[in-house]
Amino acid sequence: MQSWLLQQEPFSRMRPVKRLYDDNLYRFDTPQPSYWEATANDVEVTAAPLQGTESCDVAIIGGGYTGLSAALHLARDYDIDVRVLDAGHFGWGASGRNGGFCCIGGTGVSSADLIKMRGVDNAKEFYRSQVSAIELVRQIAIDEDIDYQAFGAAEVEVAHTSKAFRRLQQEQELLSGTLGIESQIVGADESRERYYDSPEQFGAMVIRPAFGLHPLRYCKGLANASARRGARLHARSEVLEWGKTDDGFHNLVTAGGSLKASRVVFATNGFMPEQLNRTFHARTLPVVSAIVVTRPLSEEEKAAQAWRTEHPSINSRRILNYYRLLPDNRFLFGGRGHTKGHTSGERQTYDEIAGTMHRMLPAWANVEIEYRWHGLICYTRRLSPSIGQLDEDPSVYFGFGYHGNGVNTATWAGKQLADWMGKGRAPKLPVIVMGLGGKFRPARLRLKYLQLGIRLSTLLDRRS
C-alpha cells in the first residue's frame, strides 16, 4: 500500500504556514528570557545546523525531552544511526522553559474522571507508568551524569478552600487505595507547620515520587548524552518540508540541507508544525503557560510567609498555579497564559500571575520579579498523551500531548519509541496513551474551545 506521502505534495508546500498563535511564539532564533537560560549557559551543546544532503536510519523532528530521550536510547541501547533536528537551540521549546516539576500527571483530568472515562485497570496502568517515568528521569541522570539540580522530594497539592480540601481527601483515597500511588493528607495546621502559610491554604495532599529540577540543564544534559552515545544533533534546522522519495525514504528539508531517513519520529509537542503532515493536523490544542521568578528571598521574607518547603507545589484550582522555591531562594510561580492567539497582552498575563501570587502569598507583594517567560503546553482531545506509530505509514512514530507534565512523561515516551524501533515491536503501553487520539473539529475553533473551557473552569473555581 502506498503511503499518503507518496500520493501528494508535502503538505507544507500546499498551504502557507498557519499557526494557532501569532509568530512571536515561534521565534526559533530567540531564546526565552527565562531564569533557566540565565543559569544554564555554562553547559554547551555542540549542534551545527544541517548542511547539504545527509542520510540516517532515524530522523527526529524536535529536540526536547521526547526527541532527545528517543535519540539517547536509540543510539545507546540499539546502536541505531539517529539524527535530531531542532528549529531552535536544544532546549528552545517547552523542555527548556518549564517549571521543572518531575511529578505524576500527564492527563487533563482528575484521577476520578480518568477512572470514569477509561476504567480503573487502565487508570492504574497509566499511573504505574507515571511512577516509572519519574524513576527513568532519575536513572538517566545517574547513568549519564546529568546535574539537573534536584530539589524537593514530593509534590504538595494545596487546597485553596475548605471545599477543595474535601475534594483532595476523596482524591487521596482514590490515589492511595485504588491507584496505588503513595500519598497522604495533611490538615491545615500541619500543612502550615511543614510547608507554608497562606489565606488560601486549607490543608494539602502530599504525593510521591516527585521532585523539582532545572529543566534546561536536564535538557542540555540529555542532548550531550545523546551526542556522546552517537546521535548527531542539528540545531537551527527547522524542518520546512517533509516528503518521501521515489525509493520510499523520508526526506526532511531545512533551509541548509536535506535529510533522508528510513524512519521519522515527530517530537514537537505544543510547537507542532502541523502543516508538515496532514495526519497530525488538529490533533493538538497548544495552551500558553507562563512563569515569573522573583529575586532571591531573604530568610526573614521566607519566615514572613512561613515558607519551609523545597517540594514543588500546586494549588487545587481547576486553572491551577504551580510554584516552588528554587535552590538560590528565588520563588518560581506559574499559571495560565494568554488565550487570544496573539501575544500583545503578555505584560498583562505576567501581571495577573504575579497578582495571584501576591494574593496567595501576601507577605511577598513587594518582592521584585526578575524573570518572566512563557511557552506552549499541549492538550489532546481525549485529554491524555498520544504515543505510537502511524497506521497508514508505520515508519512514522510520534509522542505528544503531555498536558503540562512532560518532564517525566516525554522522557518516558521517547524511551518507549526507541524500544519500539530498536526491538521492532510495540512495547506494552498503557491503553490511555496509545495511538493518535481524535482531531479537534473544526480545527480553527480550537482557541474558542479553550477560551470557553477556561471561562467555565474559572466559574467553577469561584464556586468551590
Residue of 362, 312, 319, 318 whose CA lies nearest to 333 = 312
Characterise 230 by phi-psi region: left (phi > 0), alpha (psi -120 to 50), beta (else): left
Piece in contact with ligand FAD (CB under 6 A), picked from 171-179, 375-383, 427-435, 454-462: 375-383
- CA-CA-CA-CA torsion sign (18, 24, 29, 35): negative
d(CA 324, CA 212): 8
The one among 175, 265, 377, 429 contacting ligand FAD by CB under 6 A? 377
> Cβ closer to ligand FAD: 59 or 361?
59
The one among 92, 127, 202, 333 contacting ligand FAD by CB under 6 A? 92
Q: List, in order, residues 6 or more apart from 441 with CB less than 8 Å away.
A: 282
Per the document, the length of the chain is: 464
List, as one string, the DSSP characters of 285-317.
Answer: EEEEEEEEEESPPPHHHHHHTT----S-EEES-
Residue least distant from ligand FAD (Cβ): 406
Hey, which residues between 223 and 282 contact ligand FAD (CB under 6 A)? 238-239, 267-271, 273
Piece in contact with ligand FAD (CB under 6 A), picked from 87-95, 158-166, 360-368, 426-434: 87-95
> Cβ closer to ligand FAD: 277 or 363?
277
> Cβ closer to ligand FAD: 65 or 420?
65
Piece in contact with ligand FAD (CB under 6 A), picked from 37-45, 85-93, 341-349, 384-392: 85-93
**Per-residue cell: 459:** 466559574
> Cβ closer to ligand FAD: 88 or 203?
88
Q: What is the dihedral angle through the alpha carbons of 388, 290, 456, 316, rounded to the nearest 10 degrees?
A: 90
d(CA 242, CA 220): 26
Q: How far is the CB of 374 from ligand FAD (least distance, A)?
A: 6
d(CA 217, CA 223): 10
> Cβ closer to ligand FAD: 168 or 407?
407
Query: From residue 38 to residue 77, what is the string marking binding to ligand FAD with x (rule CB under 6 A)?
Result: -----------------------xxxxxxx----------
Q: How far is the CB of 159 from ligand FAD (least distance, A)?
A: 20
Total chain residues near ligand FAD (CB under 6 A)? 44
Is 25 a binding residue for ligand FAD by CB under 6 A? The answer is: no
The one among 404, 419, 420, 430 contacting ligand FAD by CB under 6 A? 404
List, as one string, the DSSP characters of 145-195.
Answer: T-----B-SSEEEE-SSHHHHHHHHHHHHIIIIIT--EEEEE-HHHHHHHT
Is 164 a binding residue for ligand FAD by CB under 6 A? The answer is: no
Decide: residue 365, CB within 10 A, 0-12 exposed, 13-18 middle, 19+ buried.
exposed
Q: How far is the CB of 291 from ligand FAD (least distance, A)?
A: 5
Which amino acid belongs to residue 203? G
The one among 40, 233, 410, 450 contacting ligand FAD by CB under 6 A? 410
Peptide bond into 442 cis (omega under 30): yes
Q: How far is the CB of 460 from ligand FAD (least distance, A)?
A: 23
Q: How far is the CB of 242 from ligand FAD (least distance, A)?
A: 9
- H or E element in which residue 220 lies: helix 215-228
Binding residues (CB under 6 A) for ligand FAD: these are: 28, 61-67, 85-88, 92-95, 97-101, 238-239, 267-271, 273, 289, 291, 322, 334, 374-377, 400, 402, 404-407, 410
